[in-house]
Amino acid sequence: GAGVSQSPSNKVTEKGKDVELRCDPISGHTALYWYRQSLGQGLEFLIYFQGNSAPDKSGLPSDRFSAERTGGSVSTLTIQRTQQEDSAVYLCASTAWVGVTGELFFGEGSRLTVL
């Protein structure tokens, strides 16, 4: 596709349920990032994938959060046993070559509401 695609756009779930958020990056982009944007806060880094290298998981807030990237393309962010504090917009971004420009191309995000 022309841009970074994220689904679902909005997700409402009950506390304790698991959710999966999907990101389809720009074709050919080797690097993929997940960020979390909570109300009134900036963007919080969650995880970074670069090609076939081991992902940088240093931003994941707890072991309830995990992410994978299959075939160097689509990524799924999974939140297990969701809590109300997980409510936020989850943004995915991709870039072709981090070493040069650092410009990230973002999707429109998945808004998660945990009741």
Find the shortest distance in angstroms from Cβ 51 to other proteins: 12
Task: Count CB neighbours of 3 within 10 A.
Answer: 13
Distance set, CA 27 to CA 67, 72, 104 (Å): 19, 10, 14
Binding mask 41-70 for other proteins (x = CB under 8 A): xxx-x--x-x-----x-xx-----------
Find the shortest distance in angstroms from Cβ 16 to other proteins: 27
Q: Which of 17, 32, 5 is nearest to 115 (CA)?
A: 17
32 binds other proteins (CB under 8 A): no
Radius of gyration of the chain (CA): 13
Which residues of the chain form contacts with other proteins (CB under 8 A)? 3, 31, 33, 35, 40-43, 45, 48, 50, 56, 58-59, 89, 91, 93, 98-99, 101-104, 106-109, 111
